[in-house]
């Protein structure tokens, strides 16, 4: 995550909730607690992995150690950017301690540490409340500190999760089979791996290129580089030396927040690694705005330990997120989409042509969609996915009966005339409005001058109410999937009649977007909802899990996340290394990704198809290749994929390495192995398959189809032949 990209929308204050009753009750005892705060006291928490010692007396000193290894992860004074509050214990039990204190500016700080005796992690959370009569504005950072010396965390590497690579790497124009060109492309991929020295003193450089369709770029495109800010932010960090590791994660469903690593300056010229604690969602110009009586609750920082290297760290994080509900649903069975876009000149000729009525009349008619349905049926797909063009005007979510007939008739046609196809729809939100697009009545975004713009305000009550009305009408007719494209935040709105703050904030926009997904599921739980990037179109501005939890009615949020726009030239995204992010995401999350890909960029080995099927639990395809042999190979790949779909959609993903993926069946009795070769020459790869490492029973004997494996102790070892720019699939039964 590029931290400098988190500053763009920092100007507006963040909406706050009223002070909770729990904090109010704690605060009633604050005077007595404050009197005791200057008396040193020691509190210890721990479990079999960690021991935390807190020493209170005018401030807070922390000693945090990993018991099995003796590794110290925090030592000395806790760092507070807003002044050190004298703290006292107001609650203590076997697994947690709550500290309470006040700054001399009227800020109340509630700090909780938890280390359940039967768990293997330790957690921290912080809440601040303005108890004074005047508003508080803070640029705020606090956290645990580890003084750094020559041997501190020696050999450890810090890696960002869930995406290990910079998203903004340009790729060249058109597929290339030249080894030199491929090598030059891959040299530009950047792993977000840092040494401790990088975290403390280095300035990490990232590409400043705005994301464009790959065919508009070339390898010669200059990379304008700009240093990112000093902080390093990600959903979580893996620290490992290859044998032992730790995961530092941040989780917050009410405010967008990241796990931040930065530095603190200590006495005697010592620098400290500062981590955990609290940091606002944006940097540099960001602040927390607290009205009198208002509070702000930061997310939970969790520190956990694991044995092994980077991959085991990713698995550790995935287990955490699954325990919080962010996982593949038990009966997840998404339809394989055929996307008509790639064969339709409406969008691919010009990215603005789809808005114009004359182009829709010419290129997006009922006969055009019937042809697309025939292609979908021939390829073996389950649903026809309609991208921009089916509604009028653009982004209205209103089916165009004039061009396409009545929606129930269209859905019946797919079912009865095209092998039972279902209907999936591109249903873009407010970012996809503007000239020629629909803006529901009363929802226009108003700028700071009080002028209505041509864009809709996604946080407005009017926009949400009209959007859910139209989405439910589509679902009533039988649509089975909605893509929430255009979920990004455009700018602040100053309309006082919208039901949001004036000006509106990015957080309000995202809350409204997530609630829209829940409102769909409240009445139509069977409809799948895909969520694009909510805060900013590219790169990501919110954690992948943000907003997926259920509302007060029990309706879940979105079902899937978008796979980072790797749809336009997926072959080059794969060969350049961009698509390795799909591999690392799959290690870190079982929350499904959705992606549709252009099969015209694929080859006779169906390389792009299988990579996408292996790393995205929900897949869409489209585009008719010019070579009939490639089309036949893709049709065969689809047949095999559908036979094994349970492994890819609901199975557990494991990584032997970036090019060798394992999918274990939900019943833990079998698996498939995907082997990839991105080189221009065929290769042979030795693979060691240890059943217990992939969730399979150890008291069984396994067979390997399409390769010869021999038993070696508790493992199986085989050599697999993989064609040039190709893929080999092995079934393990």
Token look-up 């959007």 returns 467
Stronger pLDDT, 283 or 481, i.e. the higher one? 481
Q: Residue 221: what pLDDT?
A: 34
- Please say whether the beta carbons of 76 and 62 come within 8 A: yes
CA 430 to CA 554: how far, in whole Å?
Answer: 26
How many Å apart are CA 145 and CA 275, to the nearest integer?
Answer: 7
Q: Give per-residue burial for 315-351: e unless 16+ CB within 10 Å, then b.
A: bbbbebbeeeebbbeeebebbbbbbbbbbbebbbeee
How much is the pLDDT for 346? 87
Peptide bond into 393 cis (omega under 30): yes
Identify the pLDDT of residue 203. Answer: 54
Residues 6+ apart with CB under 8 A from 1: 160, 163, 192, 233, 234, 235, 258, 539, 540
Residue 59, pLDDT score:
87
d(CA 636, CA 639) in angstroms, rounded, equals: 5
> What are the percentages of helix, strand and coil residues in the chain, rounded to 5?
25, 30, 45
The reported pLDDT for the residue numbered 660 is 98
| CA 307 to each of CA 224, 238, 311: distance values in angstroms, whole numbers, following the listed order | 39, 12, 10
pLDDT at 207: 37
Burial class (CB in 10 A: 0-12, 13-18, 19+), 731: middle
Residue 582 has what pLDDT? 97
With 80 as the cut, is the pLDDT of residue 35 above it? no
**pLDDT of residue 224 exceeding 50:** no
* Angstrom distance (rounded) from CA 281 to CA 9: 10
pLDDT in tens, 329-352: 999 999 999 999 999 988 765 556
Confidence of residue 406 (pLDDT cuts 50, 70, 90): very high
Are 454 and 434 in contact, with CB atoms under 8 Å apart?
yes
Give mean pLDDT, residues 640-649: 98
pLDDT tens digits along 683-697: 999 999 999 999 999
DSSP H/E element including 361: helix 357-363
More confident residue, 656 or 81: 656
The reported pLDDT for the residue numbered 553 is 84
pLDDT averaged over every residue in the chain: 88
Largest CA distance in the chain: 82
Give the pLDDT of residue 666: 96
Q: Tell me, what's the pLDDT at 526? A: 97
Average pLDDT over residues 212-235: 46
Instruction: Give the whole-number percent of the chain exceeding pLDDT 90.
Output: 75
Task: Compute the average pLDDT of residues 191-220.
Answer: 58
pLDDT at 138: 73
d(CA 703, CA 716) in angstroms, rounded, equals: 10
| 491-511 per-position pLDDT tens digit | 999 999 999 999 998 889 999
Q: In the prediction, which pLDDT does 360 show?
A: 93
DSSP codes joined into one string, 574-619:
HHHTTTHHHHHHHHH--SPEEEEEEGGG--TT-HHHHHHHHH-SEE
CATH class as words, domain 651-732: mainly beta
Virtual torsion, Cα 263, 266, 269, 271, nearest 10 deg: -20
Q: How far is CA 580 from CA 111, 204, 383, 640, 661, in A?
A: 39, 20, 27, 23, 12
Confidence of residue 26 (pLDDT cuts 50, 70, 90): very low
Beta bridge partners of 105: none
Q: What is the pLDDT of residue 348?
A: 61
Helices (H) and strands (E) in the chain, counts: 17, 42
The pLDDT score that the predictor gives to residue 349 is 55
- Specify the pLDDT at position 23: 39
Of the listed ranges 229-243, 247-261, 537-551, 647-661, the one predicted with least confidence:
537-551
pLDDT at 179: 59
Element (H or E) spanning 123, and its range?
strand 121-130
Work out the average pLDDT over 120-136: 93
| Tokens standing for residue 9 | 């929308």
Please give the order of strands across the beta sheet that includes 652-657: 652-657, 660-664, 671-677, 726-732, 704-705
Please give the average per-residue pLDDT across 203-218, as a whole number: 37
Cα pseudo-dihedral 175, 180, 184, 189, rounded to 10: 70
Q: Inform me whether the pLDDT recorded for 21 exceeds 50.
A: no
How is the chain split into domains, by residue range?
Answer: 7-144+276-323, 651-732
Ranges 284-288, 300-304, 443-447, 675-679: which has the least confidence: 284-288
Please report the pLDDT score of residue 18 as a whole number: 32
The pLDDT tens digits of the residues spanning 142-182 come to 999 999 999 999 999 999 999 998 875 544 444 455 656 66
SS in 3 state form for 272-324? Answer: EEEEEEECCCCCCCCCEEECCCEEEECCEEEEEEEECCHHHHHHHHHHHHHHC
């Amino acid at each position: 995550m590029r931290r400098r990209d988190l500053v763009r929308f920092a100007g507006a204050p963040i909406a706050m909730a009223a002070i909770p009753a729990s904090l109010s009750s704690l605060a009633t005892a604050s005077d007595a607690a404050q009197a005791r705060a200057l008396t040193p006291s020691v509190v210890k928490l721990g479990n079999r992995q960690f021991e935390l010692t807190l020493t209170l007396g005018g401030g807070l000193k922390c000693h945090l150690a990993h018991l099995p290894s003796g590794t110290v992860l925090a030592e000395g004074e806790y760092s507070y950017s807003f002044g050190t509050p004298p703290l006292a214990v107001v609650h203590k039990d076997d697994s947690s301690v709550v500290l309470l204190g006040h700054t001399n500016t009227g800020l109340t700080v509630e700090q909780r540490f938890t280390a359940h005796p039967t768990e293997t992690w330790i957690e921290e959370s912080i809440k601040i409340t303005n108890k004074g009569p005047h508003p508080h504005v803070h640029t705020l950072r606090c956290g645990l500190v580890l003084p750094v010396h020559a041997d501190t965390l020696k050999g450890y590497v810090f890696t960002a999760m869930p995406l290990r690579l910079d998203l903004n790497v340009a790729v060249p124009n058109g597929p290339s089979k030249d080894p030199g060109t491929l090598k030059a492309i891959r040299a530009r991929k950047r792993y977000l791996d840092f040494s401790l020295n990088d975290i403390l003193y280095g300035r990490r450089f990232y590409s400043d290129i705005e994301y464009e369709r790959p065919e508009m770029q070339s390898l010669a495109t200059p990379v304008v580089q700009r240093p990112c800010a000093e902080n390093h932010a990600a959903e979580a960090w893996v620290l490992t030396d290859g044998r032992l590791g730790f995961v530092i994660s941040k989780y917050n469903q009410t405010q967008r927040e990241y796990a931040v690593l930065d530095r603190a300056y200590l006495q005697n010229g010592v620098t400290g690694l500062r981590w955990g604690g609290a940091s606002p969602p944006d940097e540099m110009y960001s602040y927390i705005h607290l009205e009198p009586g208002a509070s702000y609750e930061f997310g939970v920082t969790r520190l956990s330990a694991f044995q092994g290297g980077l991959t085991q760290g990713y698995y550790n994080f995935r287990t955490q997120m699954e325990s919080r509900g962010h996982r593949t649903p038990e009966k997840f069975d998404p339809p394989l989409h055929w996307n008509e876009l790639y064969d339709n000149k409406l969008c691919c000729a010009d990215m603005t042509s789809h808005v114009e009525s004359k182009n829709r009349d010419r290129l997006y008619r009922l006969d055009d969609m019937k042809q697309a349905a025939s292609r979908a049926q021939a390829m073996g797909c389950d649903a026809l996915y309609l991208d921009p063009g089916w509604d009028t005007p653009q982004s209205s979510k209103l089916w165009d009966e004039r061009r396409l007939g009545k929606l129930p008739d269209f859905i019946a046609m797919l079912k009865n005339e095209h092998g039972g196809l279902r209907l999936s729809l591109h249903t873009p939100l407010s970012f996809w409005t503007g000239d020629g697009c629909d803006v529901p009545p009363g929802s226009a975004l108003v700028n700071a001058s009080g002028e209505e713009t041509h864009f809709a305000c996604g946080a407005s009550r009017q926009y949400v109410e009209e959007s859910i009305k139209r989405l439910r009408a589509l679902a009533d007719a039988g649509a089975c999937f909605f893509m929430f494209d255009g979920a990004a935040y455009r700018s602040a709105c100053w309309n006082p009649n919208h039901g949001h703050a004036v000006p509106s904030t990015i957080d309000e926009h995202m809350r409204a977007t997530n609630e829209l997904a829940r409102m769909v599921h409240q009445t139509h739980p069977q409809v799948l909802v895909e969520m694009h990037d909510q805060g900013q179109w590219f790169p990501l501005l919110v954690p992948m899990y943000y907003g997926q939890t259920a509302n007060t009615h029990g309706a879940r949020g979105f079902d899937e996340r978008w796979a980072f726009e790797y749809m336009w030239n997926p072959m080059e995204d794969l060969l350049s290394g961009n698509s390795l992010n799909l591999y690392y995401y799959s290690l870190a999350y079982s929350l499904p990704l959705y992606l549709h890909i252009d099969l015209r960029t694929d080859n006779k080995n169906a390389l792009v198809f299988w990579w996408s099927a292996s790393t995205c639990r929900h897949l869409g395809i489209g585009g008719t290749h010019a070579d009939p042999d490639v089309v036949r190979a893709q049709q065969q790949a689809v047949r095999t994929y559908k036979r094994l779909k349970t492994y890819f959609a609901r199975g557990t993903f494991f990584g032997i390495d970036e090019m060798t993926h394992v999918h274990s069946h939900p019943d833990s009795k079998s698996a498939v192995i995907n082997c990839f070769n991105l080189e221009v020459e065929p290769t042979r790869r030795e693979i060691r398959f240890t059943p217990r490492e992939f969730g399979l029973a150890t008291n069984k004997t396994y067979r390997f189809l399409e390769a010869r494996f021999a038993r070696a102790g508790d493992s199986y070892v085989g050599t697999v032949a993989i064609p040039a720019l190709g893929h080999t699939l092995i079934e393990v039964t």
